[in-house]
Amino acid sequence: MKDINLNYKNSMVNKDEMYKTLRLLEGEIVRMNEAKKINYLDDRASINLPTDAQLRKTVKNVVHEKLKLKPNNLVVVGIGGSNLGTMAVQEALLGKNYNLDANLKVFYADTVDADNISSIIKHMKKGKTILNIISKSGTTVETIANFKVLLEELKKKVVNYNKYVVITTEKESMLYNYAVENNIDVFEIPKKVGGRYSVFSPVGLFPLAMLGVDIDKLHKGATRMVKLCTRTVKLNPAALSAAVLYNNYMKGRVIYNTFLFSNDLESLGKWCRQLAAESLGKVATIKMSSKNVGIMPIVSIGSTDLHSMAQYYFGGLDNVVHTLVKVNEKNKVNVPNEKNGLIDDLNKLSLNKIMSAIYNGFALALAKAGRPYMEIDLFEKNEYFIGQFMQLKMIETMFLGKLLNVNPFNQPDVEKYKQETKKILKLS
């Protein structure tokens, strides 16, 4: 089976720069291979999730029981790493408009937006609902607040409410203990697996399997990419892409744009954004002094954002490096053969061909303008290739942490807003 393809020939990084940077990652690849042998005891533990067959079996067993309840709605209650990965995979595979025709609709209760939560409650009143509450710490303010509100609605609907709730959290958290005390199904997030690296854990596997996503194929694609990204640096796609981003960063290109040429991949881009921002925006210790570092991740959708951002990408500061992601659409739509004076040369052309021309036109224009970019051919929107892509980005991020001299597994500064929020709300 083929693998997603990385092309970095227009990255504006010469061979000497690449080789020098790749050598810096050799030790990290050794540590990553060592992490494979010790299960979930290393910060790089997330790379072991795709090969955990027992984990998939446990998830499938719970999914089987919950589907017996014949639910109409699945509500994922979580924020950040607790729902972005699930949303990314769901939309990539099932589409943004999935709920229009779905027998089991999915809703995401992330931020405490009263209008959004009220809309979810309306749907809960119409049928049976499975609540999946996800919080690694078990103390996320937004998640717990939404859980309390939605649980109250669930209790109004069913007597044995605990059968309709699934909790995903770290072992021994307050949320974990709540699940045990109330006889609620609970999945454990391994301690060393951070939220933004947890999509291949029950955080993502349970809701995705509920929606019919083939989690075996998702893991198979990720497993293949782990193998590719733990081999020698010159053949390692994550090492190569990290080296490109690092060398462009050192030249002042501090903005990293994931440019996805598919509307249904927008949430995948937002997942990439969180992954890079939380992992790489840190204070680094460089030559005995502290310095703020970080690559600023943004997301663009083709061809939509060529009509909102292209002017800056060509005419603005040369501070952006792009990864262009192309994929074959599942459907084919042709422009009708009707001559009405409105660009009649478009008649009979497929929208697919037009999108391909726009993609190639943008890439060619970037190359002529001397603006750096890489390309990833995702081939198809299926579980195997999406699994490959997400695993590639996670390992790429780990490598960038090494190059930038930061810990890509923590997020200490996120606590700043949480602490101030708790003071305002007078929470203990």
Give, as one character, the DSSP assignment of residue 189: P
- Alpha-carbon span 9 to 310, nearest angstrom: 21
Q: Residues 98, 395, 273, CA angle at the centre, nearest 5°?
A: 50
Task: Map residue 406 onto helix, strand or coil.
Answer: coil
272, 393 Cβ separation under 8 angstroms: yes
> Parallel, antiparallel, or unpaired: how do β-strands 129-135 and 73-77 relate?
parallel
**What is the set of active-site residues?**
278, 307, 418
Residue 118: CB partners within 8 Å, gap ≥ 6?
A: none
Sign of CA dihedral 380, 386, 391, 397: positive
Q: List strands edge to edge, sheet with 165-169.
A: 105-109, 73-77, 129-135, 165-169, 185-188
Is-cis flag, bond preceding 303, omega within 30?
Answer: yes
- Alpha-carbon span 278 to 176, nearest angstrom: 25
- Alpha-carbon span 72 to 207, nearest angstrom: 13
DSSP string, 284-351: EEETTEEEEE--EEEEEETTGGGGTTHHHHHHS-S-EEEEEEEEE-SS--B-----SSS-GGGTT-BH
Residue 374: CB partners within 8 Å, gap ≥ 6?
A: 6, 7, 8, 10, 11, 241, 244, 321, 322, 323, 324
131, 166 Cβ separation under 8 angstroms: yes
Nearest residue to 40 via CA among 220, 188, 180: 188
Tokens of 393: 């980005």
What's the number of CA atoms in the CB half-sphere (13 Å) around residue 230?
19
- Alpha-carbon span 216 to 237, nearest angstrom: 23
354, 346 Cβ separation under 8 angstroms: yes
Give, as one character, the DSSP assignment of residue 381: S
Burial class (CB in 10 A: 0-12, 13-18, 19+), 290: exposed
